[in-house]
Amino acid sequence: MKRLQVFHQNLNINITPLWIGNKTTYENRAKGFPALPLAFFMDNPAIPSFTQVEPTTFYFTNFDYLLRLRLDTPPAKALQVVHHTQKGDQPADYLALTHDAKRLYTFIHGRDGDYLAVLSFSGSELKRLPIRRKRGIANRLFGKMIGVHGPSYPFRSVLTPQSLLLVWEPYMWHQLCAYDLEGQLVQEWEGVKGVALDEAGSIWVNGSPEPSKGVRVRRDPSALFPGRWTLLGRNRQGNWYWKRHCSVYRTLWKDWTHYVTQVICESSDGRLLWRIELDGPGGVLRWDDPNWKAGWLEVEGSGALLAFCITISDKVEGGVGLYRVEVEPR
């Protein structure tokens, strides 16, 4: 696909559309993605989530479907359903997804309890392990019920070099949990707003973690740019990435606040390297389509941003897309 080069605010920005797919209705979601994420107009991550296992292979969660996207495959066969959580009339949704070199690890929310499923890259279920906790509701991921009054999911997750599955909810509960590969809770923290790992596998957070043991705190950039920032990731050079959803304007035809996604990159010593808006009227994605809305974000080791986006316009056929955004100061 065509790569766009944008010169924006003394930055060189390369925008590469990796894949454009189809929006579908909720009833037909197995063949694509929902027309609007559940958290589209909220200060929350948007559905679906994804994880990148190889340069050209991604896995997406979409409610109760797990889909594999292969960029090296002809477009008609690039996106395939590889796993479905629902068993008979028992609904179940993916809560979080991560991977190692050989397997996928996903937390799944069922009516009777949450569990950890270990899958092969082909989607075969290798293990299904019940969540086991020390306190709270024993068979729920965060020890609480997820429902109408709970946060939007999916949640972010990562596997540490010490074989701990971290999963966190930074918007409502500000909670981080560490599980072993058998579904047993090892440790949990409150007051966590974002998580990133460094090259040694140390756990960095922003917020006020309680307890403080086992994590290291990174100060957010709110002193320079006031607002609620979430630690997004870290690249191989040791630079830190932050994101926030910021309300910027109201439409003329609906009385609601629109959110834009802002991203900051800073050096290890706290120097601001760059700041961009991904979507909205001033966002860099507007050069491809001004109606793109950035959803789930990931940081590649190189420092490039991966963004799953959705649009309600007719400019882009299909309406959902996966983009790589590379930013360099001039």
What pLDDT, in 10s, does the model give residues 198-219?
Answer: 999 999 999 999 999 999 999 9
Q: Does position 39 have pLDDT exceeding 50, yes or no?
A: no
pLDDT the model gives residue 330: 80
Q: Does position 82 have pLDDT exceeding 60, yes or no?
A: yes
Tokens, residue 312: 């309600």
CA dist list (Å): 270 to 177, 220, 221, 240: 27, 9, 8, 9
Q: What pTM does this model have?
A: 0.89
What pLDDT, in 10s, does the model give residues 259-275?
Answer: 789 999 999 999 999 99
Per the CB < 8 A criterion, the answer to whether 184 and 196 are in contact is no
DSSP one-letter code for 79: E
pLDDT the model gives residue 185: 96
CATH topology of domain 4-329: Neuraminidase (2.120.10)
pLDDT the model gives residue 38: 40
Alpha carbons 231 and 242: distance in angstroms, whole number = 5
pLDDT the model gives residue 3: 66
pLDDT the model gives residue 85: 85
Residue among 48, 1, 33, 4 nearest 325 (CA):
4
Give the residue extent of every domain in the chain. Answer: 4-329
Residue among 253, 278, 209 nearest 46 (CA):
278
Per the CB < 8 A criterion, the answer to whether 165 and 127 are in contact is no
Tokens, residue 235: 């690249």
Q: Is 275 helix (H, G, I), strand (E, B) or coil?
A: strand
Tokens, residue 118: 């270990």
**Residues paired with residue 22 on neighbouring β-strands, in sequence order:** 319
Buried b (16+ CB within 10 A) or exposed e, 12-25: ebebbbebbbebbe
Q: What is the largest CA-CA distance in the chain?
A: 56
For the chain, the average pLDDT equals 85
pLDDT the model gives residue 52: 97
